[in-house]
Chain A
């Protein structure tokens, strides 16, 4: 492991707001009406800028200089890597939502263990301090709270940290969120994410589009529109837009601290969409990493053990990845989190 380098592991924040049913104040666009100047100010505090953005009927997707932002009518998801100050966004976002008549309902903050923890600023130097900062930023109405560090026995340095707070003891969220973190990427595959010399002259297509095609990312979900971006001299980000489903990939390809993440929101009960295991298998295959962790968050009572087992079977069969650890924890008002760790069988 390198002594220093770019921190790929993201901090992730999700804020969900009440969808008031009052006809007079009913506003179908909700948070999407927050003007861009205000969003940009919040992002500036966090130390991010928007590099590209798209929208469809359901949500807005912003590729950031440090990962991604998704804005739904009653939900905001923001994910930032490096040494960003993500938690500084909580109060301003709550304020902007209140201006639109929306009240905070639930908050979830999660992250993996950093590759370079010493490079992080306060409070990210300690999850305990992060939890204190989040709690202080939230209204008391979110009274069901829990913090948990899920530490796999096979690799204690790759823990998963979760804090949740909710105004309701039962979650109404039906989207399952899957957060995949990958390190020690295959060197050959990682090469796709370095800008090639002469790109500017030879290709009318953008460098981002080329990386999407070269790596095979466009095959993970053929239905999704991909808004991609290539960084100088290397690195890649993309947001996928498919109906009301988002997906996102962020890549740090440099050897020694190589990292890739894949995240998507989906429903287990939508027959029109294919098996979650197949999607994960295709995403992980792009990078062929030596270390994979998968955190799956099931809202409410939707936890499905068969899905967990199936993910393990498919990854073992298709990618020869063995599940070394499986941890589970329940969060009041926010559902169940399953944290699985995989390494290649041959190790």
Chain B
């Protein structure tokens, strides 16, 4: 699949602007694109890893490059980035109390959750998911 590269907010005046999406991370800016991506993941038999972040969030910046790295390494998963400010109502429905919050979704259902920028823990979650899912044959 193609790579979707997107920068953070254009008006971010930070000298050290961290890119939150890149690699194979898809930036979600509307509820419709969220629904589309989940439908696509279902068709492709992929588990979704959704990162709820904010551009102002210092802890989110710690883990953003690692998240991108994971997305490039694990093409069997779908990596999404949700900006909690741009999609504030949507984020509220997921009860985001702190960022970053990662959700692991299979067929739209939550199978895991991780809150906090903790790279070893995120790696561990991704690895356990990959190990637990057998190779799925492509639908005809």
Q: Which residues of A contact B (CB under 8 A)?
A: 29, 32-37, 39, 50-56, 60-63, 71, 204, 206, 225, 227, 229, 241
Contact = CB atoms under 8 A, between A and B. Distances in A.
Interface of B: 14-16, 54, 56-62, 97-100, 112, 115-118, 121, 124, 128
A60 B117 CA distance: 11
B59 A55 contact: yes
A225 to B, nearest CB: 4
A54 B16 contact: no
B109 to A, nearest CB: 15
Given A53-B116, A227-B116, A241-B98, 13 more contacts: A35-B16, A36-B58, A50-B62, A50-B117, A52-B116, A53-B117, A54-B59, A55-B58, A55-B60, A71-B58, A204-B112, A206-B124, A225-B97
Given A50-B62, A62-B59, A204-B128, A56 B121 contact: no
20 contacts: A29-B56, A32-B56, A33-B14, A35-B16, A35-B61, A36-B58, A36-B61, A37-B16, A52-B117, A53-B116, A53-B118, A54-B100, A54-B115, A55-B56, A56-B99, A60-B57, A63-B116, A204-B112, A204-B128, A225-B97
A53 B112 contact: no
Interface centre among A36, A37, A54 (most CB of B within 10 A): A54
A53 B64 CA distance: 12
Nearest to A33: B14
Interface centre among B59, B99, B100, B112 (most CB of A within 10 A): B59
Contacts of A39: 58
A227 B117 CA distance: 9
Given A32-B58, A36-B61, A53-B62, A225 B98 contact: yes
Contacts of A204: 112, 128
B128 A229 contact: no
Nearest to B114: A206
A225 B95 CA distance: 11
Contacts of A53: 58-59, 62, 116-118
A129 to B, nearest CB: 33
Contacts of B100: 54
A225 B124 CA distance: 21
Contacts of B57: 55, 60
B59 A60 contact: yes
B95 to A, nearest CB: 10
Nearest to B129: A204
A284 B62 CA distance: 33
Contacts of A37: 16
Contacts of B112: 204
Interface centre among B54, B60, B97, B98 (most CB of A within 10 A): B98
A55 B99 contact: yes
A29 B14 CA distance: 11
A247 B133 CA distance: 38
A206 B102 CA distance: 14
A169 B14 CA distance: 35
Nearest to B95: A225
A32 B57 CA distance: 8
B98 A36 contact: no
B118 A51 contact: yes
B97 A60 contact: no
Contacts of B117: 50, 52-54
Contact of B116 (A32, A34, A35, A54): A54
B111 to A, nearest CB: 9
A53 B115 CA distance: 9
Interface centre among B56, B99, B100, B118 (most CB of A within 10 A): B118
A241 B56 contact: no
A35 B62 contact: no
A227 B62 CA distance: 15
Contacts of B60: 55
Contacts of A32: 56, 58
A35 B118 contact: no
Nearest to B63: A53
